A = this chain, B = another copy of it.
């Protein structure tokens, strides 16, 4: 296979770069199974990233970001801004390499995610959602250390690319990939790695109805400020597409499916009952989107991004509550 270069604006990478990133983090990462879900009118496969050791795909990017950093720049440890899963990935990768970690988290993050960060040995600073978003945009966390942006770093996108390489290897006939979008680092990495392999599946982003920054940006043709309603689903749903990510997302994402809370709750129950997976809300959104009628007859992969959900919320939804 040729070592294709993929270029989108400022982004340039070759297939060999994606492969090198996957190899670099192979000790931190599980090659997650692609599990068939029995649906009568389509071949639906679940990429079970909830089975990573910390229950989320973000270990891929966290480990790659630290591995590719300049050694001297890591002297004061690492700092990140994260709703939880990415912070966990960075924290585990850092602590296992003897580095300190500071995490700036929004106060909307779930308790289970903050507890997990503490347990891993991270110092956590909780700020308002708006202040946290300001750190995401400005990249100025106000704390010493090597700053790793949870979305827009090249190393993050490359780390996430491993998911795309694995999907193509496990299911070469894939027509459609459905990916939950928070900042867009995962969907970008998956799409770019697949293009580097010469594959062109339709790339479908999904968002929850309470916050649709990418859907709205696609409509407007540019990032716009959107409202952010209450939701039991964390990890996706910000108030705007990050300006630096917009060119990539505009070019790579073919369509955005907006999912209701009722659909997401039903998908969460399906994942538990039929796939025997504990998914977080974002993963349930990805399944709900993949079950839409327009994907009938296709080979479709739904990326179950993680499994870190508050057990009380989870058991209430299993019990039939939709809230």
| Contact A33 to B30, CB < 8 A, known contacts A278-B278, A315-B318 | yes
Closest to A274 in B: B55
| Segment from A184-192, A218-226, A229-237, A306-314 that makes contact with B | A306-314
**Closest CB in chain B relative to A171 CB, distance in Å:** 13
| Contact A36 to B53, CB < 8 A, known contacts A272-B314, A315-B319, A318-B318 | yes
Closest to A120 in B: B38
Q: C-beta contact mask, A39-75 vs B, less than 8 Å → 1, else 0?
A: 0000000001011010100000000000000000000
Closest to A56 in B: B276
The CA-CA distance from A30 to B275 in the complex, in Å, is 13
Contacts of A38 in B (CB 8 A): 53
Task: Contact check, B276 vs A307: say whether CB atoms are below 8 A apart.
Answer: yes
Question: In the complex, which of the residues B55, B269, B277 contacts A311, with contact meaning CB atoms closer than 8 Å?
Answer: B269
Q: C-beta contact mask, A268-298 vs B, less than 8 Å → 1, else 0?
A: 0100111111110000000000000000000
Of the four ranges (under 10, 10 to 19, 20 to 34, 35 or more), the interface on chain A belongs to 20 to 34
Q: Is there a chain B Cβ closer than 8 Å to A32's Cβ?
A: yes
Contacts of A33 in B (CB 8 A): 30, 32-33, 51
Closest to A283 in B: B276
Task: Contact check, A311 vs B318: say whether CB atoms are below 8 A apart.
Answer: yes
Contacts of A36 in B (CB 8 A): 53
Q: Is there a chain B Cβ closer than 8 Å to A35's Cβ?
A: yes
Task: Contact check, B272 vs A311: say whether CB atoms are below 8 A apart.
Answer: yes
The CA-CA distance from A275 to B311 in the complex, in Å, is 13
Closest to A34 in B: B30
Question: In the complex, which of the residues B51, B274, B275, B316 contacts A35, with contact meaning CB atoms closer than 8 Å?
Answer: B51
Within 8 A of B (CB), among A246-284: 269, 272-279
Task: Contact check, A272 vs B276: say whether CB atoms are below 8 A apart.
Answer: no
Taking each of A38, A276, A278, A318, which has the highest tally of chain B beta carbons within 10 Å of its own beta carbon?
A276
* Interface contacts beyond A55-B274, A273-B311: sample of 7 additional A-B pairs, CB < 8 Å, sorted by A: A35-B53, A38-B53, A48-B51, A273-B278, A277-B277, A312-B319, A319-B319
23 pairs of residues in contact across A and B, judged by CB atoms under 8 Å: A30-B33, A33-B51, A36-B53, A38-B53, A48-B51, A50-B276, A51-B275, A272-B278, A272-B311, A272-B314, A273-B278, A273-B311, A276-B278, A276-B279, A276-B307, A277-B277, A277-B278, A311-B318, A312-B319, A314-B315, A315-B315, A315-B318, A319-B319
Chain A interface (Cβ < 8 Å from any Cβ of B): 30, 32-33, 35-36, 38, 48, 50-51, 53, 55, 112, 269, 272-279, 307, 311-312, 314-316, 318-319
